Amino acid sequence: MQNNITREDLDALIAHLQQDDPILTQSANVRAFEQAWSEWVGVRHSVFVNSGSSANLLTMAALRERHGPGEVIVPTITWVSDIASVLHCGLTPVFVDIDPRTLGMDADEVLRKITPNTRAVFLTHVLGYNGLSRRLLDELQTRGIPLIEDVCEAHGATFQGRRLGSFGLASNFSFYYAHHLSTIEGGMVCTNDADLYETVRLLRSHGMVRELDSDSRKREYWDEFPDLNPEFIFALPAYNVRSSELNAILGLSQLKRLDETIERRNENLLLFLKNLDADVYQTDFALEGCSNYAFTLILRRPDEALMGRVMTALSTMGVEFRRGTSGGGNQVRQPYLRRLLGDDAWRAFPRADHVHFFGMYIGNYPTLQRDKILRLCDILNELAHQGT
């Protein structure tokens, strides 16, 4: 991977810092970034936080606040904080296997696992592939189950021409290093729901009523609690996961070229998949609406020897990769879940398990050169034939 922050972004920071008395804590630039992000995604409200994991946490906390305890249907391939946030909020994760063409959740299995206790489906768009289908959206709507989208790895990806992150009750983005847009650390919660928006604003900042957007809502609290100082009314037990003006300035600067960088990343992915040997490596991913974060390299068949050769070759060439793709592979194999689900739970998710052992992702970034991609494919294809 390569750093996504350019000289232009850094100059925007310096210009801010050169003012006589620059505001550094959450203020006008955070607001401006939230508004610009809402417009770009196509949602009414956005709340800037200090990481994608904080976005996950606030979304689950808001869901718990609204719907009480219950089950949340989650993927086996995702980032740890998607599951940890469910657990931290006293909700119960219910796992489903992946659809190999999107690496997202298998829609049939999601629908089979809905019960009267289901509070939400918390879906991840893995590495830029769209994880939604019309059937899933329609069924969830019919059954009244909220959808939460994790778009941390898929900024700008679309489904039926609309940006991901605009379909769910809420959606979460990460702006960590090497994501499509980076504010060093950072994240966003997006929603069209005015009540949820206000709850997330409270949760971001100690539960303080003065953080609410709506003056009439603030007034309701002032009237109800006349014994309290209006500056210090804590409506909910909450967190402090705010970010700063500096991170927002980076976000605003990067947003100007986000569409262009997404195009470059997608071109790179297409070149990579077109030149890989399709008999050996999976190349039939669902590319429509994709906004690639990193190249997916998954062996078609379990082959430990080939996987070993691939990893040795990549390490020797200094090509960064992560085994298991997003989040290191099958989450239910991780110690934090084994202690809840037992040591054998992974057996129920064979497709995620294949990716766990025979899949990886390789860094993709806008300035990655064409000839490097072609050479990488040549080497990977040659490795496949060395064992035969």
- Contact residues toward ligand PLP (CB under 6 A) are 51-53, 56, 78-79, 81-82, 124, 150, 152-153, 174, 176, 187, 326
Name residue 73's beta-bridge partners: 94, 121
Shortest Å distance, C-beta 175 to ligand PLP: 7
CB of 213 within 8 A of CB of 35?
A: no
Closer residue to ligand PLP in complex, CB, 152/355: 152
Shortest Å distance, C-beta 131 to ligand PLP: 10
Cα 121 off chain centre by: 14
- C-alpha span between 132 and 127 (Å, rounded): 14
Q: Coil, helix or strand for 25?
A: strand
Taking CB atoms, the residue at the shortest distance from ligand PLP is: 52
Closer residue to ligand PLP in complex, CB, 29/59: 59
- C-alpha span between 387 and 366 (Å, rounded): 34
CB of 243 within 8 A of CB of 251?
A: no
Closer residue to ligand PLP in complex, CB, 190/276: 190
- C-alpha span between 329 and 122 (Å, rounded): 17
CB of 101 within 8 A of CB of 127?
A: no
The amino acid present at 256, given as its one-letter code, is: K
Closer residue to ligand PLP in complex, CB, 235/243: 243
Shortest Å distance, C-beta 186 to ligand PLP: 7
Shortest Å distance, C-beta 284 to ligand PLP: 22
Closer residue to ligand PLP in complex, CB, 58/208: 58
In order, the DSSP letters of 105-154 are: B-HHHHHHT--TTEEEEEEE-GGG-----HHHHHHHHHHT--EEEE-TT-
Nearest to 244 by CA among 19, 24, 9: 24
Closer residue to ligand PLP in complex, CB, 26/183: 183
Shortest Å distance, C-beta 251 to ligand PLP: 13
Shortest Å distance, C-beta 376 to ligand PLP: 22
Closer residue to ligand PLP in complex, CB, 185/211: 185
CB of 190 within 8 A of CB of 38?
A: yes
Shortest Å distance, C-beta 75 to ligand PLP: 9
